[in-house]
Amino acid sequence: MSTSVSTSPRVARVALVTGATGGIGEAVVERLVADGFAVAVHYAGNKAKAEALVEKIAASGGQVLAVGGDVADEQQMQAAFDAVETAFGGIDVVVNTAGIMLLAPIAELNLDDLDRMHRTNIRGTFVVSQQAARRVRRGGAIINVSTSVTRTQLPTYGAYVASKAAVESITLILARELRGRDITVNTVAPGPVATPLFLEGKDEETIGRFAKAAPLERLGEPRDIAESVAFLAGPARWVNGQVLYSNGGLA
């Protein structure tokens, strides 16, 4: 199922952003549109928000398409990639921001939550990366999203970090497997970012502690992560097979 709005028959570079109704995903969409991309806005469940974002971008003259689907379902993602190629003629950049975060100490984690994160964060990244590896054109980029907690190792993040460490491994190996294709594959690992996903369930004291942790003494904003993604999607052609920590200097 897709909804498309295109204001011009001329398409330059094309990007697909999964999880585009989330805080970081939406910021990435808006930044890539500003950089001249035609962008496919992917959603899993929030169709209304995706269509509102599409209308907003189209009203300002951008070329945009909304596509739905479960990132962990290979048939649905194949259909989403097909819709983007039909609308815009090909795909140059895939940004996979789709993910879920469920926190608890390892000793107390509900294993159903572990399975949910595994399905979205690991299988979903693998399915999207597989389609991207088959579809992205020469000179393109594949960008996944991890977390800086793979280094800071905070309590209660064990299962989430395990899933994101897998994302990093998939990324680094795919970069080597695409040798000779002129396609870069990288991961952005944000620090604490003021999104609903991060803020949910945290009191003001906890949020303030996270804000003070980085030398820049603030939480990241979705636009900060979008800048890093735009760098990897555009001028950063010599950055490949890397994890870029976008966290304000957090250790």
Work out the burial of residue 69: count CB atoms within 10 Å of its CB; fewer than 13 is exposed, 13-18 middle, 19 or more buried: buried
Sign of the alpha-carbon torsion through 30, 35, 38, 39 = negative
DSSP 45: S
Length of the chain (residues): 251
The single residue listed with the structure tokens 């500003």 is 34
- Angle at alpha carbon of residue 176, lines to 121 and 162, rounded to 5°: 25
- Angle at alpha carbon of residue 179, lines to 173 and 185, rounded to 5°: 50
Could you give the residue ranges of the DSSP H alpha helices within the chain? 23-34, 47-59, 74-88, 111-117, 124-135, 149-152, 158-177, 196-199, 204-213, 222-233
Q: Which residues are catalytic?
A: 160
